[in-house]
Structure 1
Amino acid sequence: MKNFTPGEIWPDNKGVHINAHGGGILFVDNTYYWYGEHKTAGEAGNVANVGVHCYSSKDLYNWKDEGVVLTVMPEGSGSDIEQGCILERPKVIHNTKTGQYAMWFHLEPKGLGYLGARSGIAVSDNPTGPFTFIKSVRPNAGHWPKNFPDELKEMPVRAEGYRFDGGSIPAHPDTLNIVKRDLEEGQMARDMTLFVDDDGKAYHIYSSEENSTLHIARLTDDYLDHSGEYARFFVGRFMEAPALFKKGGKYYLMASGCTGWAPNEARSAVADHIWGPWKEMGNPCQGEEAYRTFRSQSTYIFPLAGKEDQFIYMGDRWTPTDAIDGRYIWLPIRFDEERFFIDWQESWSL
């Protein structure tokens, strides 16, 4: 295989369509590793029956099946990652100081629907696992966001008893004061990604406050917990599926709106510092079905090793009635001044 064909079946070294949905890429020791949700045949939606799958590649075209590297626990185990939980958007980063590989993912413990809004953490000494599940958390319990207004700290909570319905809340998140509501338990965390900056500091980016607001949180030096330093961005904009990357000293973000499995018009933003201010730049997609992000949703954007300022967009074309058949949309990133763009191509090569 010597080219990418977005939206088509993508066979691994065994001839089986790659099973790594909502995934991310790690590059280490001249090898790319692709981690994603393992789906099962006939499965509708996103219940986790198996765990996280991993593939490896030297050229990004041809992928070797490395197997399931994080396995959900059997029914009745009582684990937070018991079979039947919701385990989404796994991302793995390498800690060069500890030598360990940290995996984070959005986790909804079995039976809670989407009310858990937790982050799962697992660790391994090897990129191909096995990964050991450590714990799940609500981020930054007991800590205020660094950009949270003092007057809101004194305001009453008006969000008690409210339950998320998929894409809206009855009032602005500041009026409801969702941050204060969740202060002791920790903030909600759903769709997420990870980002490691040039200085080795790692960040967890996730949809929070009933999906209304994006949080960026710095991790501890071992990448296995939150540091307590975090901030809120795009308050009330309902952005999910975040993908964050850096080029030329600037930080770029891609995300989608909250429309469930249905694709929508992508969003982009740019900042000179990870703590903002962030400036929205509109839909980065160009060409056929750009208004629906080429019938995909962002999951990750990664740099090409050895190719300065070249990046690839990773998106999922979800198939909610038969999740294992979900297709992958990989396309190159194009830059124009402070904006980035993604052009539709039926076939392309590096």
Structure 2
Amino acid sequence: MKKSFTFSIIALVLVLFSCGEKKTSSQASSTEPFIESGAIWLDTDGNQINAHGGGIMYHEGTYYWYGEYKGDSTYWNPKVPNWECYRTEAGGVSCYSSTDLTNWKFEGVVLKPDLENEDSELHPSNVLERPKVIYNDQTKKFVLWLHVDSHNYGKAAAGVAVCDTPNGNFEYLGSMRPNEAMSRDMTLFKDDDGKAYHVYSSEENRTLYISLLTDDYLKPTGTFTRNFVDKSREAPAVFKKDGKYYILSSGCTAWDPNQAEYAVADSMLGEWTVMGDPCSGKDAHITFYGQSTHVLPIAGKDGAYMAMFDKWNKTDLIDSRYIWLPIEFKADNKIDIAWQDKWQVSQVF
């Protein structure tokens, strides 16, 4: 009888402990921050995040988000009559860090504007857009590429900078027209074998180039392909899953949103098959009022990817918002990016 009573007490304690554990788990889920696309996002200091047209690099347990650090005054440039050239003073490249994709610490402006020299490519009167950073395992350098342009978008070049740390002051090395061709909207992609590629809109944004970089990631090798010729694709974002390569991009309608499109290939320099619009749900036909900028593989989560878009506010560019959504993979290399008002990273991935 005593032995049976002891076992009953132990069983009761285990049940209560189990219930307590479930409650704690539920509470942890309820207190996890949501990703709310299109909302105002604040950093850990309570300031609005200023990292537009950017991308995220994962390194040693931390995500680093690099973006355009825009000035607080938007104006229209009348010297560019053929499109609505709204812009702000170029404030360099910002960096934020996070371990959970929701709480972001401002690390500072890691590529600073040159406020003194009006002839500098980094002067605020010029254009600095679409910064992306990848790590070179051989040189142990963090390499940043970005679209560098004159105030009237006539330069159409790519700039390069390097740093020994992900959140330090990047040293600007200068710009070029890679493969002797225009370079505007762009991204970087580092493959599993360590090779890196520069993907950019060229030929007045009519054609998308994919260019293999040198082993130090600082220059083009001269090996490149011209893709989607005369299809006017920009804002490229590249990722790889199960041996297949994907490019997500937008059409060219200036600051106004348009329909997204993606394509699939067996290699970066291979033939690309256009698959159509990956978006679904509210306002999918205009990419939820956004434009693609990056696709992030979620660290430690096999098959988990997040699509990143900018929701541009052309008359107040510093107040442009961010849209982040999970990607669902289907049969036959098809993907679906469905609208969600808000979602939690742990619940989706």
TM-score strictly above 0.5: yes
Pick the structure with greater CA Rg.
2
Describe the SS at the equivalent of 1:292: helix
Q: 2:342 aligns with which of 332, 342, 347?
A: 347
- Whole-angstrom CA distance in 2 between matches of 1:138 and 1:131: 21
- In structure 2, what is the Cα distance between the partners aligned to 1:100 and 1:56? 18
Given that 2:212 and 2:221 are in contact with CA atoms closer than 8 Å, whether structure 1 keeps it comes out as: yes
Q: Distance in 2 between matches of 1:108 and 1:49?
A: 10
Specify every segment of 5 or more residues in structure 2 that has no aligned partner in the other structure, as ranges: 1-31, 76-85
Letter in 2 for 1:66: E
Q: TM-score, length-normalised on structure 2?
A: 0.85
**What CA distance in whole angstroms lies between the structure 1 residues aligned with 2:100 and 2:124?**
34
1:139 matched to 2:178? The reply is yes
Whether 1:23 and 2:54 are equivalent positions in the alignment is yes
Of 220, 227, 246 in structure 1, the residue corresponding to residue 221 of structure 2 is: 227
SS in 2 for 1:341: strand
Whole-Å Cα distance in 2 between the matches of residues 5 and 238 of structure 1?
Answer: 30
RMSD of aligned residue pairs (Cα, Å): 1.0
Identify the match of residue 116 of structure 1 among 155, 160, 165.
Answer: 155
Q: Distance in 1 between matches of 2:122 and 2:318?
A: 20
The SS at the match of 1:200 is coil
Secondary structure of 2:132's counterpart equals strand
CA distance in 2, matches of 1:122, 1:48: 20
Out of 71, 88, 92, the residue aligned to residue 112 of structure 2 is: 71
- In 2: Cα distance, 1:100 partner to 1:6 partner: 33
1:326 aligns with 2:283: no
| Matched residue, 2:125 | 84
| Equivalent position to 1:287, from 281, 284, 298 | 281
Matched residue, 1:4: 35
Letter in 1 for 2:142: Y
Matched with 2:202 is 208
3-state DSSP of counterpart to 2:276: coil
Aligned partners of 1:243, 1:23: CA distance in 2, in Å? 10
Question: Structure 2: how far apart are the matches of 1:275 and 1:63?
Answer: 35
Alignment match, 2:71 = 40
Residues 73 and 88, structure 2, Cα contact 8 Å, conserved in 1: no
The one of 89, 100, 116 equivalent to 1:59 is 100
Whether 1:95 aligns to 2:136 is: yes
Aligned twin of 1:127: 166
Query: Aligned equivalents of 1:305 and 1:130: distance in 2?
Result: 25
Contact 1:47 1:87 in 2 (8 A): no
Structure 1 segments (4+ residues) deviating >6 Å: none
Q: CA deviation at 1:46?
A: 3.2
**For residue 331 of structure 1, what is the amino acid of its counterpart?**
L
In the alignment, the residues of structure 1 paired with residue 149 and residue 88 of structure 2 have an alpha-carbon distance, to the nearest angstrom, of 9
Q: Give the whole-Å Cα distance in 2 for the aligned partners of 1:308 and 1:326.
A: 31
Task: Output the CA distance in 2 between the equivalents of 1:240 and 1:48.
Answer: 22
Q: Distance in 2 between matches of 1:277 and 1:76?
A: 44
Report how far residue 77 of structure 1 moved: 4.3
After superposition, the C-alpha distances for 1:55-113 in whole angstroms (9 at most, x for unaligned) are 0000001000101000111243421222211010000000011110000001103x4x1
Whole-Å separation in 2 of the counterparts to 1:308 and 1:264? 31
Number of corresponding residues: 303
Q: What's the TM-score once normalised by structure 1's chain length?
A: 0.85
